[in-house]
């Protein structure tokens, strides 16, 4: 499951009941992406991620680097990789990291 402030389940905003529907399948589940954005929320992603964690689901956040949007913990995005050389251009976007990291611990 991916969950953001604007997350659609096919019928409406994502809710805790959607987690229960997935649990009822008896199959392993996980949050494959979550994060905060500047969108006007219709989904309580914090409650959904917290609930999924209480069910021992694996939880991953998006994104560490790459799309130039608000959901990057590393900045700036898309720096070139040079084998054997440390990339000193990267830094942590602490404002975003402070929102996301508590949900990963």
Domain that holds residue 73: 2-103
Kindly give the confidence (pLDDT) of every residue in the chain, 105 residues in length, as a single tens digit, with 9 standing for 90 and above. 999 888 888 888 999 999 999 999 999 999 988 988 878 889 999 999 999 999 999 998 876 665 666 777 777 766 677 788 777 777 777 888 888 889 986
pTM confidence score: 0.80
Residue 56 Cα distances to 26, 51, 103, angstroms = 14, 9, 13
Total Cβ atoms within 10 A of residue 87: 10
């Amino acid at each position: 499951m991916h969950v953001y402030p604007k997350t659609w389940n096919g019928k409406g905003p994502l809710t805790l009941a959607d987690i229960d529907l997935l649990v009822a399948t008896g199959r392993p589940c996980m949050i494959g992406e979550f994060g905060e954005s500047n969108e006007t929320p219709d989904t309580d992603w914090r409650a959904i991620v917290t609930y999924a964690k209480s069910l021992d689901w694996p939880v991953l956040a998006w994104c560490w680097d790459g799309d130039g949007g608000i959901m990057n913990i590393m900045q700036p995005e898309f720096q070139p990789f040079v084998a054997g050389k440390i990339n000193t251009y990267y830094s942590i976007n602490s404002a975003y990291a402070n929102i996301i990291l508590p949900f990963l611990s």
